């Protein structure tokens, strides 16, 4: 079994914070108006103790964002913290604007690729990176205290920033060479009816591409619904119908991307990471190596070996990738989900910037997306998600026995990963090997045992 790497000094588990902030179903604790109000206050108290000033609040397009934006603002105001409201903006845009507007923290109201009925809160520090562990611990400690309100004269104020989209569009364009244009390219852009709906098409259009927009009509309920990076088949259909050169699919908060070439082939994050890494290596700008995760395809690891590019794996989650990149003073990492980190351009995963890097590689090589992705063999890999209760235990004898059987069947020619999701009540079963049929059989076999052992009475309706 391939386990998530864990550092010896990993922090203790949080009560509320997960791998990517706090996330869950709207109306179910802790994603309630009452809790988020107090969370805003707790964040404000911790920041105030450190002498921090204004905080930015941005959100995606799900309907509950209106409610949570209001209560976060109220909680921060009660603690004496001023807020600047950005409205719907991609998560990486909020990280960028937190830096450039000299805010002391940025708050994102989003559940990323999840359906509209979920939501979450995640934070950026003043430099646009995820909050340090000690700040998260301090916030959780503050949440255990009774809520108080500062004197009326000290209450925080709120203003709305109206030029945020334009600022971010210009930043995205600045991350590639000024002589790179997209003239002559026809691109389908799927914004998942999410936070990038009003900025992503403009970025590619202003660089010269002919843009066909889909997933740009959010109504609060249709975010990620049969569109975007989690449903790239829709993008593929439009690429083929429009006879476009390629397609770009973002997720609900714009921090990940999946692409489609003109032949209708879907490129996941591993393929995009390969294109960017090889491009940077050719230009001589690849600093160090590349960081992947336990989900990264084995074929990509071997391709990097052939290119003399160092590669290592960390646990799933951009937080772990960024941490390891900073530790090694490297710049590039990513996940198969399309979450790519380019630390030489920005501080967090950014779907638009990732797509621009791939487009730059295409223009540099004067090749199509279908041609430039060639150069490595992708091992057949199957990921099966099994819905479980939040406290489901993987150490059940039947599951462990089946796991050992699958490992023995694969030997040295494949990998098995059995892990809990950090953002959803799911167990992820991943099997990878040389034979696609055998991989599918073994993955489904292990997934069926997990399903059989889960406590049905504690599951929500599927």
The CATH class given to the 381-458 domain equals alpha beta
Q: In terms of DSSP bridges, do strands 290-293 and 311-314 run parallel, antiparallel, or are they unpaired?
A: parallel
Is 339 within 8 Å of 349 (Cβ atoms)?
Answer: yes
Which residue do the tokens 């386990």 mark? Answer: 3
Section 13-41 average pLDDT: 91
In this structure, CATH architecture of domain 184-265: 3-Layer(aba) Sandwich (3.40)
pLDDT in tens, 62-106: 999 999 999 999 999 999 999 999 999 999 999 999 999 999 999
Query: Can you tell me the mean pLDDT for 49-67?
Result: 92
How crowded is residue 271: how many other Cβ atoms within 10 Å of its Cβ?
25
pLDDT of residue 12: 53
Cβ-proximal residues to 228 (8 Å cutoff; 6+ apart), any chain: 113, 190, 191, 192, 193, 194, 215, 249, 250, 251, 252
Q: What is the pTM of this model?
A: 0.89
pLDDT exceeds 50 at position 302: yes
Asked if 22-164 and 184-265 have one fold, the answer is yes
CATH class of residue range 22-164: alpha beta
Residue 266: closest CA among 293, 292, 243, 239: 239
Q: How far apart are CA 33 and CA 406, in angstroms?
A: 45
Q: Is the pLDDT of residue 296 over 50?
A: yes
Residue range 332-354: mean pLDDT, rounded: 97
User: What is the pLDDT at residue 454?
Assistant: 73
**More confident position, 420 or 216:** 216
CA 72/CA 12 separation, integer angstroms: 26
Q: Strands 381-387 and 340-342, how do they pair?
A: unpaired
The Cα 363–Cα 452 span in angstroms is: 51
Task: Report whether pLDDT(11) > 60.
Answer: no
Which pLDDT does position 52 carry in this prediction?
Answer: 67
* pLDDT confidence band for 13 (50 / 70 / 90): low
Q: What is the pLDDT of residue 6?
A: 41
d(CA 64, CA 461): 21
The least confident of 198-202, 369-373, 415-419 is: 415-419
Instruction: Show me where the domains of the chain are located.
Output: 22-164, 184-265, 381-458
Q: Which residues pair with 260 in a beta bridge?
A: 247, 266
Q: What was the pLDDT predicted at 412?
A: 82
Q: Are 264 and 240 in contact (CB under 8 A)?
A: yes
pLDDT tens profile 350-409: 999 999 999 999 999 999 999 999 999 999 999 999 999 878 889 999 999 999 999 999
Report, as an integer, the average pLDDT of 181-200: 98
Please give the pLDDT value at position 382.
Answer: 94
Residue 391's pLDDT is 81
Query: What would the pLDDT profile of 118-134 be if each residue is shown by its tens digit?
Result: 999 999 999 999 888 88
Catalytic residues: 112
What are the counts of helices (DSSP H) followed by strands (DSSP E) for the chain?
14, 18
Average pLDDT over the chain reads 93
Residues 202-227, mean pLDDT to the nearest whole number: 98
pLDDT, position 149: 97
Percent pLDDT > 90 in the chain is 86
**pLDDT class of 460 with cuts at 50, 70, 90:** very low
Q: Which one, of 56, 77, 83, 65, lies nearest residue 26 by Cα?
A: 65
Which two structure tokens, joined as six digits, stand for 192?
């998942």
Per-residue model confidence (pLDDT) at position 245: 98
Tell me the C-alpha distance between 248 and 340, whole Å: 14
* Element holding 333 (H helix, E strand): strand 332-334
């Amino acid at each position: 079994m391939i386990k998530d790497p864990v550092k010896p000094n990993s922090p203790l588990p949080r009560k509320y914070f997960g791998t990517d902030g706090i996330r869950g179903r709207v109306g179910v604790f802790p994603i309630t108006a009452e809790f988020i109000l107090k969370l805003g206050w707790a964040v404000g108290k911790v920041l105030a103790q450190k002498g921090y000033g204004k905080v930015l609040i941005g959100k995606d397009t799900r309907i509950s964002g209106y409610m949570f934006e209001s209560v976060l603002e109220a909680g921060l105001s009660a603690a004496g913290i001023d807020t600047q409201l950005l409205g719907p903006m991609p998560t990486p845009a909020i990280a960028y604007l937190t830096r450039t507007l000299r805010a002391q923290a940025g708050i994102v109201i989003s559940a990323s690729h999840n359906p509209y009925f979920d939501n979450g809160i995640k934070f950026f520090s003043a430099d646009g990176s995820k909050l340090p562990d000690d700040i998260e611990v301090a916030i959780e400690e503050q949440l255990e205290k009774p809520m108080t309100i500062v004197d009326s004269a000290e209450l925080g104020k709120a203003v709305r920033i109206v030029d945020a989209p334009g600022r971010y569009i210009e930043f995205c364009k600045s991350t590639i060479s000024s002589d790179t244009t997209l003239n002559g390219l026809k691109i389908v852009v799927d914004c998942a009816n999410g936070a990038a709906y009003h900025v992503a098409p403009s970025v590619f259009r202003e660089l010269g591409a002919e843009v066909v927009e889909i997933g740009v009509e959010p109504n609060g309920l249709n975010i990620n619904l049969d569109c975007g990076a989690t449903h790239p088949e829709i993008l593929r259909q439009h690429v083929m119908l429009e006879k476009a050169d390629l397609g770009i699919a973002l997720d609900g908060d714009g921090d990940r991307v999946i692409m489609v070439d003109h032949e209708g082939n879907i490129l996941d994050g591993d393929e995009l990471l390969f294109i960017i890494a090889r491009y940077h290596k050719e230009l001589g700008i690849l600093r160090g190596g590349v960081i992947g995760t336990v989900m990264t395809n084995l074929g990509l690891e071997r391709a990097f070996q052939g290119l003399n590019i160092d590669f290592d794996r960390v646990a799933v989650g951009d937080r772990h990738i960024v941490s390891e990149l900073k530790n090694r003073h490297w710049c590039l990492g990513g996940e198969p989900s399309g979450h790519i980190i380019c630390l030489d351009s920005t501080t967090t995963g950014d779907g638009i910037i990732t797509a621009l890097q791939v487009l730059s590689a295409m223009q540099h090589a004067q090749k199509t997306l279908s041609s430039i992705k060639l150069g490595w063999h992708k091992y057949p890999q199957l990921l099966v998600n099994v819905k479980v209760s939040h406290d489901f235990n993987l150490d059940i004898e039947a599951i462990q026995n089946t796991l050992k059987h699958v490992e023995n069947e694969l030997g040295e020619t494949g990998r098995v990963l059995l892990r809990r999701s950090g953002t959803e009540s799911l167990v992820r079963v991943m099997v990878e090997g040389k034979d696609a049929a055998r991989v599918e059989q073994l993955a489904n076999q292990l997934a069926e045992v997990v399903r059989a052992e889960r406590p049905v009475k504690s599951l929500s309706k599927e």
